[in-house]
Amino acid sequence: MAELVVSLVVQPIVEKAIEAAVSLIKEEVGSVLGVKSEVEKLLSKLTSIKAVLEDAEERQLKVPQLKDWLGKLRNAAYDAEDILETFATQVAMHKRKQKLRRVRTPISGNKISYQYDAAQRIKKILDRLDVITEEKEKFHLSSGVNNNSGNSRNHNQDQELPLTGSFIDTANVFGRDDDKERILHMLLSDEFDKEDDAFVIPIIGMPGLGKTTLAQLLFNEERVREHFESRMWVCVTVDYDLPRILKGMIEFHSKMEQSTSSISLLETRLLEFLTGQRFLLVLDDVWNEDYRKWEPLQQLLKQGHKGSRVLVTSRTARVSQIIGIRSPYLLEYLPEDQCWSIFKKIAFNQGNFSSRMQQQNLEAIGREIVGKCKGLPLAVKAIAGFLRKYDDVNKWRKILSSDIWELEEGSSNGPHILPPLKLSYDHLPPYLKHCFSLCSIFPKSYAFDKAEMVKFWMAEALIQSRGGGRQEREEEIGIEYFDELLGRSFFQSSNIDDKVKYQMHDLFHDLAQFVSSPYGHVCQVKDDRSSCSSCCSPETRHVSLLCKHVEKPALSVVENSKKLRTFLVPSFGEHLKDFGRALDKIFHQLKYLRLLDLSSSTLTVLPDSVEELKLLRYLDLSRTEIKVLPNSICNLYNLQTLKLIGCIWIMELPKDLANLVKLRNLELEEMFWFKCSTLPAGIGKLTNLHNLHVFRVGSKSGYRIEELKELPYLTGKLHISKLENAVNGGEAKLSEKESLHKLVFEWSNNRDSSPQSQDVSGDEERLLEDLQPHPNLEELQIFNYFGNSLPQWMRDGRLQNLVSLTLKGCTNCRILSLGQLSSLRVLNIKGMLQLEKWPNDEDCRFLGRLKISNCPRLNELPECMPNLRVMKIKKCCSLKALPVTPFLQFLILVDNLELENWNERCLRVIPTSDNGQGQHLLLHSFQTLLEMKAINCPKLRGLPQIFAPQKLEISGCDLLSALPNSEFSQRLQLLALEGCPDGTLVRAIPETRSLNFMILSKISNLDSFPRWPNLPGLKALYIRDCKDLVSLSGEGALQSLTSLNLLSIRGCPKLETLPDEGLPTSLKCLIIASCSSLKSLGPRGTLKSLNSLKDFYIEDCPLLQSFPEDGLPENLQHLVIQNCPLLTQQCRDGEAEGPEWPKIKDIPDLEIDFICNRSPIMPEKKKASWYRPLVGRGGLKGRKQMEQGEPSGLAGCSP
């Protein structure tokens, strides 16, 4: 069989050189420098050669000499573009200086010398092109060849790509239902549980079978989410880096990047999450075959709870042997009928067949093609993604009969290239081939963002402008490129925990490296220096350093490859790259760089010599400790993207930033925009800028609001502050900025807001009216506005896409007039001190979230809000009634002193079914309520009648005397009562099996608890600050709590002893703190019989002297005694053992004032953490919070 042959793609490179020449001629740059004739000759030769490029690229596989000819042409075109762009940049910068000086000056002598030298270099390129043109004749190339045979479903695909969305990955799971269910059984069934270790399930299979896809499917399965308390996903790849794996596991819990490399510290942090948790860990793409590397992680995984699982994907069975699994799960080839289902779904997705006969023919050919894919889903997806664009039977037959199916897939030492993947690549348009092949510069398994990849392509000038009526932005075209490659499966999406990233499958990465390999066009440098000299040549244009120590490789690259366009250094975790002496050489010798990555490096000062990189378009300084950007950076005339993410020390931008007229992306931390006191003057000159998060309006030239006028491409969010300095808001032209989705209008809050300031009020009304946004706006916030009314453009329905509205500090508005905001879902109102009413005729049909705070005069709300799900009303002291809310789920009422009417009227609704029929339904307000907090609402006399919450918190509502009865309490899970004047509500607690948590705080006039009704589900009881509580026993209150695991008693100064009848035997944790009169822990048997008790905390009990006579439970693992001087003395008096010491000396984990004898965490002595799942998914963080006994997320019940 023949070998796979790489074909060169030169056409896009030649087209860019032609484009640069045309631009020079159009701008008359050649005339200025006296090289017009040379540039015209260059244009003529390149245009002549371009005419035969399609034929040359088509025939190069059959005529090997053509590949060498194309290689020479590519290098000449690259060099031509470099020189022409340098010309254009020098002249543009000279013209800009002339304009600033307002005087025409000749080009200086040294520049004339430079331009003469450049002209000589153009002549050298012309000489090279003369030779290339002569060689062209011997190949007898034809012009105007169209090698795109067959009828495409999109006949203009080379001119305009179809708008394709992200490919839906459901096709990946065809035929894996049985695999999924078998592995699910191993994940969920207790028959695979191991007592002292996590059960490991290796999924083994060759590349392209769908191992990762199957693992992702399992990871996101609902049954898996419910079964495991913790889930983690880490992509391991070839380099088995334990610190990186540990960080990945930790970050899945904390959502915070870990900065340390210390394995010890990482293990300690990870243990906080793993210990006692039933977890699922997915280790994707594992290559490690060294047991010594696996063992440290295996020891950590033993700390998890019984039932934990580790799911491993790997292409080698040796990995499963290393981790001790003799029988891995071997993923088989996908049956042909299932492959056909994938193929049919993708290739025939559009379903545009001209006849039944055509459909039958295409299906018959398609089935044969699927057979040639040999059961590999990735290969099927790739070839189907290509064929879906064609409906010509002959085109399909040509693919079926292609010689590529018979080609070798690479030697044992070379890349594994699947013929269907190579075939898909060969039929990409030239511009997509170029974009894809350059992706080989990234390491395998590299996760990238769509927008970032488009910026990368733009920096490399890979985005081709298109003719036509509508002027498209490069970003839009780039996104189409990306979506097309995604749709053809060259990229694949990875959606784990709502983070959308993209990757190339290893087989596609091999293909990208394969097609970019000729002549060292793209080079990856590993740690060994030999690889640098072997792959980097004088004609290398793109380099990535995939090594931790970069100085020596960087020096070698600069020495060998002075024509570099890309210098990329991907980060290795938190490791800071030290460029050392290489940095200065990069700036002075790599004159043609377009993209430079200095992120995550030790760089603290960016030298002025950065201005030498005249052609630079993309500069990444993220996560460096640079404090000040040199003003010389503003001489980078071509700079499009400047990344400063994580540069926390940068407080200001250079003063001449406005010189960066091509800047599109200025990426800074969100906090920078608020730390920076002022932006440089003239920001409006950056007419290509896409992101400007904050603009502070000033009164001086260069800072006025008209600076926003010529920024039509602003995207995302814009916060305009200090609007009191603005005169004419229309100058900002916000109505033309269609890509802005969020706007914030802010006036300073230190102004006179009195209603008498009529002039100010009128000025601000006119200004806000002039600031009319584009109808695409989705979120609007208005702060400290002193006008009497909201703008007309808000009231008359022009913002039909507005989803969220915030009004804060708009102190003079008396009536809230929102008009017809049909898409409004979220409304936040705060500090509108004069607001009195929200008229009933306002359209609130679709409002889902409402928060109103500090509106003391508000007395009227719309009568009905039929779709409201969340409502929070705070400090509305005049409001007496709530609206009718039949679908309300979450309600928070705080400090509403006049509120007394729940407004429980029924609402008649007519939901319409699919057949157009409907029936009347009567819905009561609050019947769907899940959670309610009522705090300091003293006039509320009762709770809603039809009301069955899951969480209920009441504080400071003195007139409330009843809780939902048993009928409406059967889903109540949490009950918190605070600040009650007596024990009325405590005695009203209903019988329910669902109640898990109960908090009783600051209950006055309550000396003992009543005997509650049956509460068999109660797991945790928190008693706090009950100043009159004398006894816990009363009527045997605690004895009926048969499932109680945690009892916390804090701040009860009159409590003297625990009940004689004892505590519930189910207790696992007991906390007693700040009980100043406590003298006894009860008689014999009070604690000894608590066989389940594992943790016991005693704090701030100064009168307590002893434990019960018969001691503590034998199973107690953890005892804490803090600030109990008498008891501490009885345990140990100086060096001598006290009388109470024998009762506690054998407890494994002691924390006492005078001793810290904590045992290290070992598999047989785990730190007690059973209470973590008790109080929420995240658990209680640390001992202090556990002592305080706080379920996470409770408001109004803090100690």
pLDDT: which is higher, 1045 or 525: 1045
Q: pLDDT tens across 649-707, in order?
A: 999 999 999 999 999 999 998 888 888 888 899 999 999 999 999 999 999 999 999 99
- Cβ atoms 1118, 1149 nearer than 8 A: yes
What is the model's pTM?
A: 0.77
Provide the pLDDT confidence category of residue 404 given band limits of 50, 70 and 90: low
Determine the pLDDT at residue 497: 55
Q: d(Cα 665, Cα 619) in Å, to the nearest integer?
A: 10
Residues 6+ apart with CB under 8 A from 140: none
- Cβ atoms 933, 1196 nearer than 8 A: yes
Residue 911 in this model has a pLDDT that exceeds 80: no
Highest mean pLDDT among 241-245, 965-969, 1121-1125: 1121-1125
Provide the pLDDT confidence category of residue 101 given band limits of 50, 70 and 90: low
C-alpha distances in Å from residue 1148, one per residue of 277, 338, 1072, 1163, 1167:
21, 58, 20, 14, 10
C-alpha distances in Å from residue 60, one per residue of 140, 669, 1100:
13, 49, 86
The structure tokens listed for 766 are 């006119």
Determine the pLDDT at residue 139: 83
pLDDT: which is higher, 713 or 142: 713
Q: d(Cα 208, Cα 401) in Å, to the nearest integer?
A: 23
Q: d(Cα 718, Cα 697) in Å, to the nearest integer?
A: 12
Q: Which long-range contacts (CB under 8 A, 24 or more apart) does 996-1000 make?
A: 996/1020, 997/973, 997/1021, 997/1022, 997/1175, 997/1191, 998/974, 998/1022, 999/974, 999/975, 999/1024, 999/1191, 999/1194, 999/1197, 1000/1024, 1000/1026
Handedness of CA 762, 766, 767, 771 (dihedral sign): positive
Determine the pLDDT at residue 249: 86
Query: Which residue in 667, 666, 673, 645 sits closest to 257, CA to CA?
Result: 645
Dihedral (C-alpha) 128, 134, 136, 142: value to the nearest 10 degrees? 130
Determine the pLDDT at residue 147: 44
Overall average pLDDT of the 777-781 stretch: 96
Query: Lowest-pLDDT range, 77-91, 376-390, 1108-1122?
Result: 376-390
What angle, 0 to 180 degrees and rounded to 10, lies between the N-to-C axes of helices 11-26 and 64-101? 30
Determine the pLDDT at residue 706: 95
Q: From the centroid of its chain, how far is CA 1057? A: 53
The structure tokens listed for 518 are 């000729």
Q: d(Cα 817, Cα 811) in Å, to the nearest integer?
A: 14
What angle, 0 to 180 degrees and rounded to 10, lies between the N-to-C axes of helices 211-219 and 177-188? 50
Residue 1195 in this model has a pLDDT that exceeds 80: no
Determine the pLDDT at residue 413: 45
Query: Which residue in 460, 526, 377, 481 sits closest to 161, CA to CA?
Result: 481
**DSSP symbols for 730-777:** GGG-GGG-TTEEEEEEE--SSS---TT-HHHHHHHHHHHHHT---TT-
Q: d(Cα 493, Cα 216) in Å, to the nearest integer?
A: 11
pLDDT: which is higher, 530 or 24: 24
Residue 626 in this model has a pLDDT that exceeds 70: yes
Q: pLDDT tens across 341-358, in order?
A: 888 888 887 666 777 788
Residue 153 in this model has a pLDDT that exceeds 50: no
Overall average pLDDT of the 357-383 stretch: 84
Beta pairing partners, 1050? 1024, 1073
Residue 167 in this model has a pLDDT that exceeds 50: no
End-to-end Cα distance, the chain: 78
Classify burial at 347, counting beta carbons within 10 Å of its beta carbon; exposed 0-12, middle 13-18, buried 19 or more.
buried
Residue 924 in this model has a pLDDT that exceeds 80: no
Q: Assign residue 81 a region: left if phi > 0, alpha if psi is -120 to 50, beta otherwise? A: alpha
Determine the pLDDT at residue 1137: 85
Provide the pLDDT confidence category of residue 578 given band limits of 50, 70 and 90: confident
Provide the pLDDT confidence category of residue 109 given band limits of 50, 70 and 90: very low
Cβ neighbour number for residue 170 with a 10 Å cutoff: 10
Provide the pLDDT confidence category of residue 1173 given band limits of 50, 70 and 90: very low
Q: d(Cα 892, Cα 951) in Å, to the nearest integer?
A: 11
Q: How many residues does the chain have?
A: 1199
Overall average pLDDT of the 980-988 stretch: 87
Residues 6+ apart with CB under 8 A from 874: 851, 852, 853, 854, 892, 893, 894, 895, 896
Overall average pLDDT of the 730-735 stretch: 94
- Cβ atoms 791, 768 nearer than 8 A: yes
Quickly list H helices, 924-1032: 984-987
Q: pLDDT tens across 874-895, in order?
A: 999 999 999 988 889 999 999 9
Determine the pLDDT at residue 403: 62
Q: d(Cα 534, Cα 537) in Å, to the nearest integer?
A: 8
Determine the pLDDT at residue 1184: 36
Overall average pLDDT of the 351-374 stretch: 81
Q: d(Cα 853, Cα 875) in Å, to the nearest integer?
A: 6
